[in-house]
Each structure stands twice: as C-alpha cells, then as structure tokens.
Structure 1
C-alpha cells in the first residue's frame, strides 16, 4: 500500500555527524541481478538475491522501474524492479521480508548512493530518473565519467516530521560506455538507505508516559477552581 506523504521531501545536506545506515536495498548490474538487504547499524542481518542466473536481465540503455517500500507498522521492506519492462512488478521481481526489531521505526533521512565505473577496459554509467519519495518528485541523478559517484540525502520539509512509511519510485538505467560489457571488480550499483533511526518507545516507556499524563491530569483537576453556587 502506498505511503501517505506527510510532508514535502527536499534535498538535504544530511546529518551533522555520521549516523549508521539502518535499512537498505541495492541494485547491481550483472548476472546476479539485484538484491535486497536489511541492515542493522551497517551490518547485513537479513538478505535475499533475485535473478541469480541472469534471466530476465537488465536491458542496457533502457529504463527499469523500481519501487522500495518500508512499512513502519509491520517492519517489512519490499524491493521491486521491473526487469522485463512490462510495466508491472511481477513474479520473480519482488522481494519482501520482515525484520521484527524494526517495527515502528521512523527515520530522519533517505540516502541515495550510486557508483559507476569510469576507467579500465569496460566503463559504465548509471541514470536514475523520475525519483519520487512519498509523492514528491525529486528529479534525476547520473553517475558517469563527469561524476562517478552519487551521494544525496533527502529529508522531510518542514523539518520536524520524520519518515515513517516510505515509498520510493523511479527509473534506473545502466549504460555501457566502453568495452564489451564484462565486469572488473565491484559491479556498478545503486543503493537506497534509511538513516537516523528512531525506534518506538519500549512498552515500559509507554507505561511511564501514560502514567505521567495521568498524574498531570489529576493535578490539573485538583487545581481547577470550584464555581460558586
């Protein structure tokens, strides 16, 4: 189910101090297709790999729609890529799993990164277009010889509301810009991460909070003046 946009999303300079990556998904060009991973403080704890034998494959130079959805109420991360370009996220193109410890977690930032290969026998470029986060269109981004890497934070505006459920949509194009398309070293990739986690209060904290509200309410009732008859 799509995430409701509680605020406009804007480009951001990111946190003042480095924060650990919490939840993320990655797309890589190559026979291994794409993968979805869940991170806990930067360490992969849950993951899956799709398109392991390269069928269907990326169509170089052609846009592939993608969707990343974080459901904060269930802790489920869904990663979808339209490999066969049939305008739908069909069977074999979807990964979904739940990390129970993340139920109710909200985030301060979304981080988009991408890396291209611009030297050696084979070079490539990555185009990300029509990027939308919770309904806000944020434009296009390219990693190529002019700028080999992308590192862009996004945050809600006005400041204050945090990302809860997050839906990210866009198109991804891998372009071979030199050589025969063989890979050397790490494959070109795009990754989306959620940064600056704020978990829901523990049950004991909720009890203390409710008890505190009750005590304040009782005090206010005791201080309320009695109307003269």
Structure 2
C-alpha cells in the first residue's frame, strides 16, 4: 500500500534528550497500520505537554524508510523501534542530536518550559551595549547556554514558542528578545518600558487553540 498522501495526523515519537526523553511531535502521513511499528503515538485529548515539542528544527529523531511494490513508506520513528525496523529491511537515517549553536557574533540562550530547554540565538552581547541597557539576559529570564547544556537544547519549535518583548532605549533604538514565560507578566506590567511583540505558545490553553487537542 502506498504512503498516505491525503491526510496528516499529529503524532509524537520518543528520543533521548540529555538524561531524559523528548516527545517529538509532527504531522505524520504514515498509514495507521504502521504507527506501532514506528513507535508513533497519536496526540489526542489528555496528552501531557511535559517534554513535548512540535516541529522542532533541532534535534531531529531518526527516520525509517523503504520502497515497496506500490511505492514508498517512511517517517520519523522512536529510538526504541530502530532495531526492529532495521531487521524489517527499513533504511535508517540517524537522528540529529542537539548542539550548542552560535559563533563569533551570536550566542545560544534558553528558557526552561514544560521541562524543555527552549533555545534561541541572540547577538545581544555584541549589539553595542543595547542588550545590557535593557537588562538582558536576567530581565528576560533567560540563561546563556554552556557546555553543561550540550545535548539538552531544543531550537525552532512550533510549540512551545517563547514570548518576545522589546525595550525602548534612550537613544531611540529598540532592543528585543525572547523571554521566559514566567517573566512575561512582570515585563507586561513594567509601566510601558517593555512591550509585547509575540505572546508565544507554551501552555495547555495555547496547545488546545493551536491543535484542537486538550492537554494536561
């Protein structure tokens, strides 16, 4: 049977992240009869958003694929299903691990949301002091990633997505950054010093609004 190209189902697979387990969510077109083989769990009402991300750019889970008489079948798979899939003649594309990103002009910062270190790149410390003038990073509740965070960071997720706030500087310029959701209320009530740019998506209500699925 060929791959299902008509519908996509929101599912997650599991993979290691740091010393724990990440639930990597995505829209799967794999036929239903193969979901258990791939270790794909359909995201349904009552799902826990702890350690769950949707559509992250990094890390990425392993992918299993093979050609059949009628076409092609393949998708992301859970780490604990790789051996069985390989024995069943699937080719396995290795998972892409999380790495600390950045370079000469940017660094990785993160906030911990739902048990996940949600990371992003910022050049705040190389922007002529504008970040420091806005109280970055402490005022935004984010932390600079270090070698101790290697293998634990998640980048570019559709969910959770950190909120963003801007700060008007005395020279007329504006500094903006993502922030820890726990700091959002304080920034929102700063008397206009900080302005919300993006409310973000990170809690059960946001998840239900985005995906039509109630969450715990």
- Of Structure 1 and Structure 2, which has the larger fraction of its residues in strand? 1
Larger Rg: 1
Q: TM-score, normalised by structure 1?
A: 0.24
Choose between structure 1 and 2 for higher RCO, CA contacts under 8 A separated by at least 6 residues: 1
- Of Structure 1 and Structure 2, which has the larger fraction of its residues in helix? 2
